[in-house]
Amino acid sequence: MVHFTLPTIFLLAAAAAAGLASAAAPVSTSGSCGGAAGGATCQGSAFGNCCSPYGYCGRTAAFCGAGCDSKFGTCDDAGAGAKVSNDGTCGGLTLSGGAGSGSTCKGSAFGKCCSEYGFCGDSDAFCGAGCQAGFGSCSSAAGSGSGTTDVKATRDGSCGKANGGTTCAGAGFGSCCSAYGYCGSTSLHCGQGCDPKYGTCSGGDSSSSSSSSSSSSASASASKSSASSAKGTVAGTTSAAASPTVKATPDGSCGGANGYSCPAGQCCSKNGWCGTSDDFCSFGCKAAFGTCQACPGSACSSTVQGGSPTCGDDGGKCFVQGGKKFMVNCDGKLASGDWVDGGDTSSINTLAACVAACAKTTGCVVANMYTGMGQKSCSLLGSFAGRQTSSGAVGQFAYVKSSGCS
């Protein structure tokens, strides 16, 4: 018979308890790990298998290298075993610094470098500043610009030495840093005074509009945050045909002066950012730069031939007039879009009359009825980009549903 001393028994019991605790360690569902996260392990989590010294799961060297806690995950080479990207996304980071797809760009048809924002490509915007070496190559020689690895991409459109040494390469505001320290893609940014140390200086596109930081940094930041958090599934979508000349986005921006396209399955929103929720794929979505819903919005609750729509009774109903099917929206806001000339409609003071005017006007797709400040007036729009959100945009509208949409 084997006899154990009391200290030995205590040690064996402690070891057994530790083994049970380890075996029962919960897999992290929030991205946090370690003792401060209730003993959650990164092993098998969607965020990556490595637990960083700061208690977060990931796949890059920052998580899997120095300080990695092997008690709550693995601590091997970042990106080891990562699948090859088949949709253009990559790495351990997203637009907001959250968990990325974990795919590698090595061997990907989209390019071999994984950008700071988690997209594959071959230019300096992908291979230069912020490139994620754990998920592809990071050689700026692949690009045609002058991107470097010791500067950071701008977050607000400002650039150059006076603005923290930030570069325009891959930032989404335009690749040229002007003499005044702002990013853009016009000749004003890329021509005389352009600073090649903080972007490209190719002469610019004189036909494109400026993409400088006159756009508010807060708006850009908010849009990026929205793009990174959208995780919905796109159903019933349309998209532009794939082309080998498509410029894959390096930073989540799309369309506009740069003409970037979104990864497969993602939509380019009216604000120029990639994502997959209704905010990106519904009204205002840019089909030339990604996927869009074929029939955005809800279905008609019922359809009336002719008729006189009014709010209060007909919200959600559709009315067919002049060969157009109008869906009535009575949520209390005006529609956004581009104005179309339908003559003087300001004296029209009912939704029914406004719809009738739109039905007769070529190119009109929205009958917009303002009802604020005790006044009523009708305006006609030639495009529909969803509801307005400003406090003064009080009203009701009816928009034309696409042919074939219920």
Of 219 and 60, the one with more pLDDT: 60
Phi then psi for residue 81, to 5 deg, are 75, 10
Q: For 2-6, 59-63, 72-76, which range has the lowest pLDDT when averaged over its residues?
A: 2-6
CA-wise closest residue to 399 among 377, 374, 372, 381: 381
pLDDT > 60? residue 206: no
Instruction: Write the pLDDT tens digit of every residue in 311-344.
Output: 988 999 999 999 899 999 999 999 998 888 888 8
Q: For 35-44, 200-209, 303-312, 387-396, which range has the lowest pLDDT when averaged over its residues?
A: 200-209
**Mean pLDDT for the stretch of residues 65-89:** 70
CA 269 to chain centre: 8
- DSSP label at residue 72: G
Of 377 and 204, the one with more pLDDT: 377
Instruction: Write the pLDDT tens digit of every residue in 148-195.
Output: 334 566 666 778 887 777 777 655 567 778 887 777 777 777 888 888
**Mean pLDDT for the stretch of residues 128-157:** 58
Q: Round to whole Å and give the CA distance between 38 and 21.
A: 11
Model's pTM, two decimal places? 0.42
What pLDDT score was predicted for residue 113? 83
CA 126 to chain centre: 17
What pLDDT score was predicted for residue 324? 92
- Contact 88/70 with Cβ under 8 angstroms? no
What pLDDT score was predicted for residue 255? 85
Q: Does an H or E element contain 121, and which?
A: strand 120-121
pLDDT > 60? residue 345: yes
Quickly state the pLDDT bin for 369 (edges 50, 70, 90): very high
Of 363 and 43, the one with more pLDDT: 363
Instruction: Write the pLDDT tens digit of every residue in 285-308.
Output: 888 888 888 888 899 999 999 999
Of 93 and 39, the one with more pLDDT: 39
Instruction: Write the pLDDT tens digit of every residue in 214-237.
Output: 333 333 333 333 333 333 333 344
Q: Round to whole Å and give the CA distance between 234 and 287.
A: 13
Angle formed at CA 29 by CA 27 and CA 30, multiple of 5 degrees: 130
Q: Is 288 left (phi over 0), alpha (psi -120 to 50) or beta?
A: alpha
What pLDDT score was predicted for residue 170? 58
- Contact 309/355 with Cβ under 8 angstroms? yes
Cβ-based neighbours of 172, under 8 Å, separated by 6 or more = 220, 251, 252, 253, 258, 260
Question: Can you list the positions of beta strands (E) in 169-294?
Answer: 176-177, 183-184, 237-239, 247-248, 260-261, 267-268, 274-275, 291-293
Q: Round to whole Å and give the CA distance between 10 and 78.
A: 39
Fold designation for 303-400: Hepatocyte Growth Factor (3.50.4)
CA 268 to chain centre: 8
User: Where along the chain do its domains lie?
Assistant: 28-81, 217-293, 303-400
Q: Average pLDDT over the chain, rounded to whole?
A: 74
- Contact 25/34 with Cβ under 8 angstroms? no
What pLDDT score was predicted for residue 218? 31
Token reading at 204: 């610019």
Q: What percent of the chain has pLDDT over 90?
A: 19
Token reading at 8: 């030995």
Question: Can you list the positions of beta strands (E) in 276-406?
Answer: 291-293, 303-305, 318-321, 324-329, 366-370, 377-381, 395-400
Q: Round to whole Å and give the CA distance between 127 and 346.
A: 54
